[in-house]
């Protein structure tokens, strides 16, 4: 273990919402990084997070980019702003970590990747679960072809009781609904677990059941992979009873299943209420712990600092995001047109 | 409990395969029924089953239908023969129980239902799981709308390691593959749990991964129900590790999940092998018991005898099968054409 | 299946409480039996149950015993009355089924068994779980010595949130507390699963935590079996969150575990409340179904009618209860004296 | 996070066996520590581990203690040598971490604690599970008395398929068998989860089933805590099917259960064999990951380095071990004498 050099990587976090807060906290705990700026149009939100992180707040990205110490820009703004914000940061020669989904349009994804390459900066994206220890262990098992035989299907079920804030239900800000918000993870996990074969086509269907917002609340997405394997993603914001994330990989000779949240190994019951447990915290509960580390956020953000400090290539660079953007784009077209959409890039 | 009249319902079982044997055994144990004939083109198979049941064997259905004591004909032949065999039995004025899938074509389903109505005979079909105690209990829970709110999604996962005999892999005999063999149950469970709303459209995709046989080995079927709920069926013959049948019903305020086979409550481990356990019987195993009763076969067949003896309407008559036949027909068209197929009847 | 003779076995149920009601209902559904009398000192309770069963009520056992049609007496009174009530019924030449625990004293158990033998009547006892399909399947697995090797330990955990009525907390009526009420089942399951080797000694400890009643609310009982195997019984009335009954059998080469109540395979969640689910019925729930049949009551009572009707020996006659009575007696002595108690009979 | 000072804590690891290797690896990864010596009577084993850690090997503890840079001595030798080795290291003014069980005799435990206090050095002991994130989370939940009410029972089941090396089956080296090897953890977890009330008495029974070795292979230990709560420890070396560690804490109003190894959330099946999974790795498996961190070894050893570097008191100092040593001592007396043993210190 080489000795860390303190605070060499200056960070600007753009977007002071929930995920901006997670990244700021994770990077603050890394002795090699230092959060210098919180950028948010909402002065109060930006100011509060900046105060917690001992950083400065601004409403203008350009002000943070004028700071030579800033080497990494974390983009955790509403989805439809990812493209221009990331482009500006890349143009200013900064490494960029964009929260998922990278962008909504395949041409935007390719443009960002090309821009980063031209500038020689790192461009990564938020896909925390592929950094989570439990899924990394699952991937090792999946790689054992003697045990599993030929892989032919992956199913990801990801269900929540909906977003905590309002903007993810607003297409103008969020780009899409459940398929974008949590479906991104589902598509990425399918692809990553299978070894990232090309996604040749997509068949999808989406629904908005409650009429709240203008985006889909649930979706089913079939990913047709080169070689014949199928990815099945079932995502929903309409799931009471606690977040559910389960993944199954099927091979001709074996299978691997992951229960991410309820498979933590603690169950608890009270006739009253647990003070410090996520919903549900009445009756039977399945308490989590160290959720930021267990979800891979620490590992993901540190891998970015590693790459900057050590000059090595980024493990999950934005190139890996292009097929996911294309797939998500095809998801929405398939759902709208009621037919299988081929992907040609 | 009214007193049973011994052996008043004479039965002819057509098809001496696995399911023919199950029905013959179940009906033999019912004191109000008596298996009189086993009909099979294969004289040896028919003769063996007939000997076990103390019945007569024949290769010609007409011989059994000439027996006035025969009041119920059970059709458990390969799928593509269901239509003519059932028609012949109906024409002869017998009650008919057809193993699932009733038939492959919607027009055949309607024709059989109309013929039975015209003759005034009962026409039922094999959908044992809707008679199984565990699923009946689940349906009661699902019916509690105070607990579940608005139902918006049902998912059925049904996976096996493939059929035991060869004919289900042969389209000429079986009509279709996994979507027909086990997908029938999945479609029926989705529809029945939701209260049988109309299936407006289907989106599906199917695959044959190993190249064995000329039918699909797995399929994903999305059922678009009137009112907006979605049914998701994931069926596969490529699942090592023991049969898996899990059902989830999601409402806006609650959910119900059923694990049919692994949720029996017995787990067992051996460093050797369990003599009397289904696969897997080495290492960790999840032993079943009373599987015929637990699977609803006893209840299903007895409900038929009840209807005949008591003159009451059949709980699950073939009318309930028509939407399933139409959905299954749409499944195959959707998978072939790569688009959502609307159902107009 | 021989043809049942309707209502040949007249039954008197003594004790109109919860279990009296279960036995009356079960026997009423058996076409070969007929409940003729409900005997209870409480006229109102007896009258109500009798009305439901279309039977007569009396406060005096002698009145029921004067009815020649009564061939079976079911004793489901408070525990300390089991001995005199059963003796009276035996003396009157009736077959007797005594709810568990048979009696509290080993000499009483031996006296009853001898009396029944002298009179030539059947004497059985309530041990429903050894008749339950799930445990019978477990016993078959345990009998597979190739899979399990040498059996050396059985653990039974049986926990409830306490009895529904008041008398089980009153030593004068109940004989003992949790070790008697549910510990009886635990001891019986340990012994039965191991093949009923002699119980050589017992080490136990009991507690009353809340101060309610004058009997123990929980207990830990170690059963030292001939041959070296150990039975471990953990019983408690202080378990919120729903009844728990789990059994583990360990062998040198394998093991078998049974989860009786939560291992049913249905889970359900509501943000409100399920109307027809046992506690807990808010939040996450684990609904049961057909609990009377699943718990073995139907099979147990029918095995009694089978024995009477067919003249065959009773599967679980009261002889099997003697070691359990002795063990339970030793449990209380061990808990009181703080030492291992040897059993010499 | 204060900046670590590199390699300031020199370490001597005494005992080059499995646990010596774990501690050496964990401390090597901590930038504030440096393993300087491996001490082992077996020159080959010591030399191999030293080579891996870039440390020196010796067969004499005195040689390592002559090195002024050594500030921490880790004692992971066979149990019966813990007392003299730890005393020698304390006498030399070194901080000492003794692998569990601290020692076998209560007077030895008190002597070590007094010696460390007199010398002003830290004395800790290996109880990794109380440092494991999953159990720490469970302890937080248990501390929520609004949710749990009055705690009255803790049950720990810890079962393995036996030790990997031979010395734990030899009383002269190991002090005891399963109750010492894994029972130590069980007793510690019971006590720690309840908030370390005094253990007033112990009732225990132990068995050696296979005849291998001269120590017990399984044991049941009842801990009678001040205030009335009961601890129940069920430990066994005779458990095929993979390590099992489950903990249940019962309160009057709620309960918390922890499944340590099978509750990881990954299940896997193969018709062949998983290359990189612990036993069982055929059929169904429950793969672990990051087991050293998940088991608390990293956190435990780092807490020691924290205390040394920061001069703060040790979280789990050897004082906490005295009641466990006394309880374990009482376990063996209770098992031998067949009676409850009171603890008076």
Inter-chain touch B209–A228, beta carbons under 8 Å = yes
The chain D residue lying nearest A138, using CA atoms, is D266
The chain B residue lying nearest A237, using CA atoms, is B252
> B178 lies in a domain?
yes
C226 or C311, higher pLDDT? C226
Task: Give the pLDDT confidence score for residue A5 in this predicted structure.
Answer: 47
Which positions in chain B touch D242 (Cβ < 8 Å)?
269
User: Is A144's Cβ below 8 Å from some Cβ in D?
Assistant: yes
Inter-chain touch B280–D280, beta carbons under 8 Å = no
Same domain, yes or no: D107 and D209: no
Is residue D4's pLDDT more than 50? no
Same domain, yes or no: C259 and C145: yes
User: Is C60's Cβ below 8 Å from some Cβ in D?
Assistant: no
Task: Give the pLDDT confidence score for residue A6 in this predicted structure.
Answer: 55
Same domain, yes or no: B280 and B190: yes
User: Is D167's Cβ below 8 Å from some Cβ in A?
Assistant: no
pLDDT band, residue D42 (cuts 50/70/90): very high
- For residue D310, what are the contacts with CB-CB under 8 A and spacing of at least 6? none
Short-list C155, C131, C115, C105, CA closest to C259: C155
Residue among D240, D269, D270 whose CB faces B271 most closely: D240
Short-list C335, C138, C125, C154, CA closest to C227: C154
DSSP string for residues in C66-109 = T-TTEEEEEE-S-GGGHHHHHHHHHHTT-EEEEPSSS-SSHHHH
- Kindly list the partner chains of chain A, i.e. chains with 3 or more CB atom pairs below 8 Å: B, C, D
A240: its two tokens: 């009471």
pLDDT digits (tens, 9 = 90+) for C290-301: 988 898 989 898
Inter-chain touch D273–A134, beta carbons under 8 Å = no
Q: In what order do the strands lie in the sheet with C33-39?
A: C56-58, C33-39, C9-14, C70-75, C95-98, C123-125
Which one of C3, C133, C266, C280 would you mutate to disrupt binding with B, by most B Cβ within 10 Å of its Cβ? Answer: C266
User: Is D2's Cβ below 8 Å from some Cβ in A?
Assistant: no
In degrees rounded to 5, what are phi and psi of residue C145?
Answer: -70, -20
DSSP string for residues in A136-196 = HHHHHHHT-HHHH-SEEEEEEEEE-S--SSSGGG-HHHHSSSHHHHTHHHHHHHHHHHTT-
User: Is A29's Cβ below 8 Å from some Cβ in D?
Assistant: yes
Which one of C186, C238, C256, C259 would you mutate to disrupt binding with D, by most D Cβ within 10 Å of its Cβ? Answer: C238
Write the DSSP symbol of residue C262.
G
Which positions in chain A touch D1 (Cβ < 8 Å)?
29, 31
Same domain, yes or no: D89 and D140: no
pLDDT digits (tens, 9 = 90+) for B24-47: 999 999 989 999 999 999 999 999
Of B125, B154, B186, the last residue of a domain is B125
Same domain, yes or no: A60 and A136: no
Task: Give the pLDDT confidence score for residue B31 in this predicted structure.
Answer: 87
Task: Give the pLDDT confidence score for residue A58 in this predicted structure.
Answer: 98
> C19 lies in a domain?
yes
Inter-chain touch D269–B282, beta carbons under 8 Å = no
Q: How many domains in chain A?
A: 2
Of A81, A106, A125, the last residue of a domain is A125
pLDDT digits (tens, 9 = 90+) for B211-267: 999 999 999 999 999 999 999 999 999 998 989 999 999 999 999 999 999 899 898
Is residue C302's pLDDT more than 90? no
CA gap A73, A202 in Å, rounded: 33
User: Is A148's Cβ below 8 Å from some Cβ in D?
Assistant: yes
Is residue C3's pLDDT more than 60? no
What CATH number has the domain bearing residue B146? 3.30.360.10
Same domain, yes or no: C138 and C275: yes
> D4 lies in a domain?
no
Task: Give the pLDDT confidence score for residue B6 in this predicted structure.
Answer: 55
Inter-chain touch B280–D284, beta carbons under 8 Å = yes
Determine the average pLDDT of the residues in B131-157.
94
Same domain, yes or no: A163 and A256: yes
Inter-chain touch D232–C220, beta carbons under 8 Å = yes
User: Is C280's Cβ below 8 Å from some Cβ in A?
Assistant: yes
The chain A residue lying nearest D1, using CA atoms, is A29
Residue among C241, C269, C280 whose CB faces A241 most closely: C269
Helices first, then strands: H and E counts in chain B: 13, 15
CA gap D266, A248 in Å, rounded: 10
Of D95, D125, D155, the last residue of a domain is D125
The chain C residue lying nearest B29, using CA atoms, is C1
Task: Give the pLDDT confidence score for residue A156 in this predicted structure.
Answer: 97
Cα–Cα distances (Å) from C18 to A202, B89, C301, D160, in that order, read: 59, 50, 15, 43
Residue among D254, D263, D277 whose CB faces A263 most closely: D263
Same domain, yes or no: D188 and D240: yes
Min Cα separation B130/chain C (Å):
15
User: Is D140's Cβ below 8 Å from some Cβ in A?
Assistant: yes
CA gap C322, C112 in Å, rounded: 10
> D329 lies in a domain?
yes
Cα–Cα distances (Å) from D273 to A140, B280, D261, D269, D329, in that order, read: 14, 14, 19, 9, 42
Task: Give the pLDDT confidence score for residue C255 in this predicted structure.
Answer: 92
In degrees rounded to 5, what are phi and psi of residue D11?
Answer: -125, 140
> D311 lies in a domain?
no
Task: Give the pLDDT confidence score for residue C14 in this predicted structure.
Answer: 98
Same domain, yes or no: A184 and A331: yes
Is residue B184's pLDDT more than 50? yes
Cis check for the bond before D280: say yes or no (omega within 30 of 0): yes
Of C158-167, C223-232, D6-15, where does mean pLDDT reach its minimum? D6-15
Is residue B4's pLDDT more than 50? no
CA gap C93, C86 in Å, rounded: 11
Could you say which residues from 286 to 305 on chain B have a Cβ atom under 8 Å away from some Cβ of chain C? Answer: 287-290
Task: Give the pLDDT confidence score for residue B200 in this predicted structure.
Answer: 95
Inter-chain touch A254–D268, beta carbons under 8 Å = yes
Taking CB atoms and an 8 Å cut-off, how many pairs form between chains B and D?
Answer: 31
Same domain, yes or no: B174 and B66: no
Task: Give the pLDDT confidence score for residue D7 in this predicted structure.
Answer: 66
In 3-state terms, what secondary structure has residue A24? helix
Task: Give the pLDDT confidence score for residue C84 in this predicted structure.
Answer: 98
Short-list D192, D292, D181, CA closest to D238: D181
Task: Give the pLDDT confidence score for residue C6 in this predicted structure.
Answer: 55
Inter-chain touch C228–D218, beta carbons under 8 Å = no
Q: Where is mean pLDDT largest: B156-165, C250-259, D59-68?
A: D59-68
List the domain range (segments joined by +) for residue D63.
9-125
> B169 lies in a domain?
yes
DSSP string for residues in A111-145 = HHHHHHHHHT--EEE--GGGGSHHHHHHHHHHT-H
User: Is A265's Cβ below 8 Å from some Cβ in D?
Assistant: yes
Is residue C67's pLDDT more than 90? yes
Determine the average pLDDT of the residues in B191-208.
95
> Across the strands, what pairs with D247?
D156, D258
pLDDT digits (tens, 9 = 90+) for C78-116: 999 999 999 999 999 999 999 999 999 999 999 999 999
Query: Buried b vs exposed e over B43-68: b needs ≥16 C-beta within 10 Å?
Result: eebbbbbbeebebbbbeebeebbeee
Is residue D244's pLDDT more than 90? yes
The chain D residue lying nearest B282, using CA atoms, is D283
pLDDT digits (tens, 9 = 90+) for D151-192: 999 999 999 999 988 999 999 999 999 999 999 999 999 999
D58: its two tokens: 């010796």
Same domain, yes or no: B50 and B155: no
Q: How many other CB atoms are found less than 10 A from the CB of residue B235?
A: 30
CA gap B57, B67 in Å, rounded: 13
Which positions in chain D touch B244 (Cβ < 8 Å)?
none
Inter-chain touch C239–D232, beta carbons under 8 Å = no
> C311 lies in a domain?
no
Write the DSSP symbol of residue B69.
T
Min Cα separation C241/chain D (Å):
7
What CATH number has the domain bearing residue D87? 3.40.50.720
User: Is B255's Cβ below 8 Å from some Cβ in C?
Assistant: yes
Inter-chain touch D257–A264, beta carbons under 8 Å = no
pLDDT digits (tens, 9 = 90+) for B271-292: 888 988 888 888 998 898 998 8
Task: Give the pLDDT confidence score for residue B5 in this predicted structure.
Answer: 47
Q: How many other CB atoms are found less than 10 A from the CB of residue A266?
A: 23
Same domain, yes or no: A140 and A270: yes
pTM given for the model: 0.92
Min Cα separation B183/chain D (Å):
23
Inter-chain touch D239–C228, beta carbons under 8 Å = no
Which positions in chain D touch A133 (Cβ < 8 Å)?
289-290
> Across the strands, what pairs with D255?
A269, D250
Percentage, residues of chain D above pLDDT 70: 98
Short-list C305, C331, C252, C333, CA closest to C72: C305
CA gap A122, A98 in Å, rounded: 11
> C307 lies in a domain?
no
Q: How many other CB atoms are found less than 10 A from the CB of residue B252?
A: 18
In 3-state terms, what secondary structure has residue C310? helix
- Residue-wise pLDDT tens for chain A (345 aa)? 333 445 689 999 999 999 999 999 999 999 899 999 999 999 999 999 999 999 999 999 999 999 999 999 999 999 999 999 999 999 999 999 999 999 999 999 999 999 999 999 999 999 899 999 999 999 999 999 899 999 999 999 999 999 988 999 999 999 999 999 999 999 999 999 999 999 999 999 999 999 999 999 999 999 999 999 999 999 999 998 989 999 999 999 999 999 999 899 999 899 888 988 988 888 999 898 998 999 898 999 988 888 988 888 888 888 989 999 999 999 999 999 999 999 997
């Amino acid at each position: 273990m080489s000795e860390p050099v303190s605070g060499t990587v200056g960070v600007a976090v753009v977007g002071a919402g929930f995920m901006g807060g997670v990244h700021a906290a994770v990077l603050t705990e890394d002795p090699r990084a230092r959060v210098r700026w919180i950028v948010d149009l909402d002065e109060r939100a930006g100011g509060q997070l900046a105060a917690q992180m001992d950083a400065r707040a601004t409403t203008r990205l350009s002000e943070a980019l004028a700071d030579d110490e800033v080497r990494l820009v974390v983009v955790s703004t509403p989805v439809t702003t990812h493209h221009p914000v990331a482009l500006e940061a890349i143009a200013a020669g900064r490494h960029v970590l964009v929260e998922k989904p990278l962008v909504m349009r395949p041409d935007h994804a390719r443009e960002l990747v090309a821009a980063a390459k031209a500038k020689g900066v790192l461009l990564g994206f938020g896909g925390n679960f592929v950094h989570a220890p439990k899924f990394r262990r699952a991937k090792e098992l999946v790689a054992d072809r003697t045990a599993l035989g030929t892989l032919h299907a992956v199913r990801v079920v990801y269900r929540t009781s909906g977003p905590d804030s309002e903007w993810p239900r607003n297409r103008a800000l969020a780009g899409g609904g459940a398929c974008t918000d949590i479906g991104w993870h589902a598509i990425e996990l399918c692809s990553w677990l299978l070894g990232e074969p090309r996604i040749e086509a997509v068949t999808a269907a989406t629904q908005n059941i409650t009429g709240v917002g203008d985006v889909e609340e649930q979706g089913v997405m079939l990913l047709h992979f080169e070689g014949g394997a199928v990815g099945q993603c079932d995502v929903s914001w309409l799931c009471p009873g606690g977040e559910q994330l389960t993944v199954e990989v099927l091979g001709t000779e074996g299978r691997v299943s992951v229960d991410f949240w309820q498979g933590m190994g603690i169950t608890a019951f009270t006739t009253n209420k647990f003070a410090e447990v996520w919903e549900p915290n009445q009756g039977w509960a399945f308490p989590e712990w160290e959720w930021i580390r267990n979800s891979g956020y620490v590992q993901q953000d540190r891998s970015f600092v590693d790459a900057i400090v050590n000059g090595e290539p980024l493990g999950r660079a934005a190139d890996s995001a292009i097929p996911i953007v294309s797939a998500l784009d095809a998801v929405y077209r398939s759902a709208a047109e009621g037919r299988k959409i081929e992907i040609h890039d």
